[in-house]
Amino acid sequence: MIINKLLTALMLLIALFSIIVAASTFKISKTSKLHQLNTQHLKYVIQLNDLIASNPNVIPDTEALKNIVQKIKAQPQECIEQSGSIDLFIMRLINTESIITICKKDVKLADELIKKITLFEQGKVTSANMIANLNQSSDRFKANSIEFIKPVDKLSDFILKTSTTSIIILSVVFFLIAFAISKAISNVVVSMQKTSNELLLSEEKLQLSSRVFRDTHEGIMITDAQQLIVDVNPAFTDITGYTHDEIIGQSPKILSSGKQSTQFYAQMWNSITQHGHWRGEVWNRTKQGKLYSELLNISSLTNNSGAVTHYVAVFSDITSIKKQQDKLNLMAHYDVLTKLPNRALFIDRFHQSIAHSKRTGFQLAVCFLDLDDFKPVNDNYGHEAGDRLLVEVADRIMGCIREEDTVSRQGGDEFAILLNDIETTSQYEVTMQRIHQVLAQPYFIDGVQHIITASSGITLYPTDNGDIDTLLRHADHAMYQSKLSGKHRSQLYSPDSDQRIIQKHLQLEEIEQALVQREFQLYYQPKVNMVTGKVFGAEALIRWFHPEKGLIPPLDFLPYIDGTPLESKIGEWVINEALHQLEDWQQQGIAIEVSVNISSNHLLSSSFFTVLEKCLAEHPSVDAKCLQLEILESSALGDINAITKIIETCQNLLGVSASLDDFGTGYSSLTHLRSLPVNTIKIDQSFVRDMLDDPSDYSIIDGVISLSKSFNRNVIAEGVETTKHGLLLILMGCEQAQGYGIAKPMPATDLCHWLDSYLPNKQWLICGTTNLNMKEKSLEIFKLITSQWQESIRAKVEATPNNVKPWPILDSTACHCGNWIRLKTQEQLFARGSMLRLENVHDEIHAIALEIQRKYQSGDIKTARADLSVLALAFGVMNNAIESLNT
């Protein structure tokens, strides 16, 4: 590169020189004249210096010199043409550039002259002083001038003597010779440079290959022709766990996991032999024994004669990818909970089974199975317990079928089964009977025993020839017939089972006709504040008065309209009727709130807000705040975001209020309590009904009340049937209630009379207005649950033996009182000694109760009833112990 640059510079200099010489020829006349003038001036300057040095009197005065300087500056060209005058000398003295040019070989002299002239022009020195100073350097000035003039003279003479044509020819010849020489040298240099570049490129490629081998994340293994490892890269050691020294000289078989067969490796090497490469997935094992999956590429390297010299294996660890694929495959084709095939995989298996049935001529049994009474497990023991039960159900079914059969979870507690190669009717009957027997065995979850059964329906292909949806629907129809027949059985599909569908359509038509004929009526159940005794509202409940069948309870017709357009129609009718009644009551001076139940389908319908707005507009005298929308918590299990938006819109734009009904029965109660913008939480009656007997129900209600207060929600309990229920709720912090203990649902006309005659419960009023501290409230609660337990065991013993009323909880650690004692002991609310005394009395009471139960169940009912007096004495002792806690 440097040589090239030098040659290029040389050529440019030669060319430049030639051009300068040629140009000089064309300008020779002008140059000669200028040269002569310059030469004459220079010589004259020297002579003047000598003359001034010998005759100082010739020098004009300072003012004259300044005038001359100004003249030279104003008309320099005229001054140059003047000769033999002191003006030329002065001009030469002040022309700094000319002085520097003449004195290139003596920069110091030029610098001195410039400084002196500058001082002269500024008037700081006189002309006499300046000339005197110049005399000191005249010799140097003279010598430099003469030395500069000589080579210029010679060059000028040469140029003048040489013809223009000769100079041009000489310049061209000289340029061509120089160009040829430089071109030859350039070719040699280019060749050398090319060789050097190739060597550098080869070295860079080697360095790049080394870096790729060293830094790549893919493992690389190189073996010789005998398949012994000769080299590996760092990624190989990271993946396999073997160090470089440990693996060199070993066979790749050291990595074998045993998951691939001998046939697999034979096919792999056959491909490498025939094609020179192989690619695929292999499971290998690390030094530590851990399995890993790799995407492997093997290539063979050959020499010039075609013989294999090495094998190169490049692989990536794809274990995490395989695990993710397995996870995605499981999610796409299997039920996450039970790990059974989901509907998508079930349909694929169905098509395979259909093809198999056509080939073999055997029948295919399509079964649909639904668990009986599964919902109470979820409701009473929680969603987690229900899930664990479903997992065990799936395992039990899998244990009853063959490998070629398929069981799939369709959703909830529904399962579908494919039984292949059915030759006789008894074959599928035996299998289904075995499944039913296995599923009916007890389930133990967290120490609690659960008994559930299953109902199933079956249809046979190709006798019942249809697609998967048709066959499943027919099997589902047959399953429904099993439930109608008493559950815990199996039913083969027949066209007659479609009568249920026909019956449903007829029922829907009858309900719709009843709506047209105005056979529906709203009943109203009062809501009261137990502490103040005020009636603040009523819940509107639909009733059907059939002209022939009389009063039809809601549960006998509402399930039929679930999810149908008729559901929204009836919902709209209820809203309009409730508003009409509110308007009528307001005219009578009755100002109460009315709540209406809204289903999720109705709430999410596109017309809900519009219809509600229209209904309110038709009753302008009704304050929208008096209308409350009761939304079932089970309804909110759907699209909670959409439901939230609708409720907020109705509250903000229309002014209505909202409550969450049957709270605690769903699976996401806390989510609903936090997200749904409801004004009131309604505790479901299933918890209130047994709160005096069941410590679990009591704890749920206690939690709901606390959460409602934390989220600034009103709370109301439904299902209050006795004074004790109300007292316990008041002590727990719930003041609003409705239930049979207050009033049953009644027609609107009866409600007016009831309001006139209603007397608040005195015990509730006293309890609500009495100021009790925490200890006193706790003791009152204990007295209530103790009294309830005593009355329950007395009622059971005094009832006839065939009475199905259950026994109260007789386990002293699991009963309501035992639970209270344990909690208060932990809270250290009462003295330790008093609590121990109460606990001992409590254990004694349970011992007496267990003995009474034993005698009663053994048939000695008379003695059991006589022992109730002993139990009463024990309760007297307990009452004393309770009183001691309050001291």
Type and span of the H or E element at 296: strand 291-302
Say if residue 454's pLDDT is above 90: yes
Residues 6 or more apart in contact with residue 370 via CB below 8 angstroms: 413, 414, 415, 454, 455, 456, 479, 483
- Residue 73 has what pLDDT? 47
Q: Looking at residue 770, what is its pLDDT?
A: 92
Per-residue pLDDT tens digits for 326-362:
777 666 788 888 989 988 889 889 999 999 998 998 9
CA 579 – CA 591 distance, rounded (Å): 13
The answer, yes or no, to whether residue 300 has pLDDT greater than 50, is yes
Give the integer Cα–Cα distance in Å for 487 and 477.
Answer: 14
Q: Is the peptide bond before 565 cis (omega within 30 degrees of 0)?
A: no
Residue 674: count of CB within 10 angstroms of its CB = 11
Secondary structure letter of residue 260 according to DSSP: S
Do the beta carbons of residue 760 and residue 528 sit within 8 Å? yes
Distance of alpha carbon 181 from alpha carbon 187, whole angstroms: 10
CA distances from 225 to 301, 306, 308, 310 (A): 9, 12, 6, 5
Two tokens at 210? 């080394």
How does 495-506 read in b/e, with b if 16+ C-beta sit within 10 Å? eebeeeeeeeee
List the one residue out of 707, 701, 709 whose CA is nearest residue 726: 701
pLDDT at 266 over 60: yes
Of the candidates 330, 500, 333, 337, which has an alpha carbon nearest to the alpha carbon of residue 413? Answer: 337
Q: What's 571's DSSP letter?
A: H
Q: Which two tokens stand for residue 725?
A: 């229920």
664 pLDDT band (50/70/90 cuts)?
A: low
Task: Report the relative pairing of strands 453-461 and 490-492 from DSSP bridges.
Answer: parallel
More confident site: 139 or 664? 664
Return phi, psi of residue 145, to 5°: -65, -45
CB proximity list for 406: less than 8 A, separation 6 or greater: 341, 346, 349, 353, 417, 418
Residues pairing with 406 in the sheet: 418
pTM: 0.49
**Residue 861 pLDDT > 80, yes or no?**
yes
Query: 598: which strand partners?
Result: 631
By CB neighbour count within 10 A (0-12 exposed, 13-18 middle, 19+ buried), where does 150 fall?
exposed
Residue 105: what pLDDT? 42
pLDDT (tens digit, 9 = 90+) per residue, 807-856? 999 998 889 999 999 999 998 888 888 899 999 999 999 999 999 999 99
State yes or no: pLDDT of 57 exceeds 70.
Answer: no
Only one residue has tokens 């080394």, namely 210
CA dihedral 713, 716, 717, 719 (to 10 degrees): -140
Cβ-proximal residues to 348 (8 Å cutoff; 6+ apart), any chain: none
CB crowding 234-273: b at 16 or more within 10 Å, else e: ebbbebbbbeeeebeeeebeebeeeeeeeeeeeebeeebe
Strand pairing of 414-422 and 448-450? unpaired
Kindly state the helix (H) or strand (E) to which residue 372 belongs, with its residue range. Answer: strand 363-372
Residue 149: pLDDT over 50: no
Could you read off the pLDDT of 587-598 as tens digits, one per residue? 998 999 999 999
The torsion of the CA quartet 28, 34, 40, 44, rounded to 10 degrees, works out to -160
- Rounded Cα–Cα distance for residues 242 and 341 (Å): 41
Start-end of H helices in 227-280: 234-240, 244-247, 262-275
Q: What is the mean pLDDT of the chain?
A: 80
Could you identify the residue written with the tokens 């006589």?
866
pLDDT tens digits, one per residue of 383-423: 899 999 999 999 999 999 998 999 999 888 999 999 999 98
pLDDT at residue 388, rounded to an integer: 93
Residues 6 or more apart in contact with residue 746 via CB below 8 angstroms: 523, 524, 525, 754
Three-state SS annotation for 451-480 = CCEEEEEEEEECCCCCCHHHHHHHHHHHHH
CA distance 312 to 224: 9
Spatial separation of the C-alpha atoms in residues 28 and 167, rounded to whole Å: 12
Tokens 């009462």 sit on residue: 830
Write out the two tokens for 762: 């005195």
* Calpha distance 292→21 (Å, rounded): 84
What token pair was written down for 781?
């609660």
Cα angle 575-580-584, degrees, rounded to a multiple of 5: 145
Q: Are 739 and 526 in contact (CB under 8 A)?
A: no
Provide, rounded to the nearest whole percent, the portion of the chain with pLDDT above 90: 42
Q: Which pLDDT value is given to residue 787? A: 93
Name the more confident of 273 and 205: 273
Q: Is the pLDDT of residue 585 over 90?
A: yes
Spatial contact of 294 and 279, defined as CB atoms under 8 Å apart? no
Q: By the 8 A CB rule, do 223 and 229 touch?
A: yes
SS3 887: coil
Angle at 24 between CA 18 and CA 25, to 5 degrees: 95
Greatest extent of the chain over all pairs of C-alpha atoms, in Å: 172
Q: Return d(Cα 846, Cα 791) in angstroms, integer.
A: 14
Q: 738 — alpha (psi -120 to 50), left (phi > 0) or beta?
A: beta
CA 418 to chain CA centroid, Å, is 37
Q: Identify the CA nearest to 848 among candidates 869, 826, 818.
A: 869
Q: Please name the helix (run of DSSP H) or strand (run of DSSP E) that holds residue 189, with its range, or none.
A: helix 164-215
557: Cβ–Cβ under 8 A, 6 or more apart, which residues?
507, 511, 544
Q: Encoding tokens for residue 237?
A: 């050691």
d(CA 343, CA 415): 10
Q: What is the pLDDT of residue 144?
A: 46
The pLDDT score that the predictor gives to residue 381 is 81
pLDDT at 234 over 60: yes
Quote the CA–CA distance of 513 and 507 in Å, as a whole number.
10
CB atoms within 10 A of CB 581: 20
Q: With 90 as the cut, is the pLDDT of residue 636 above it? A: no
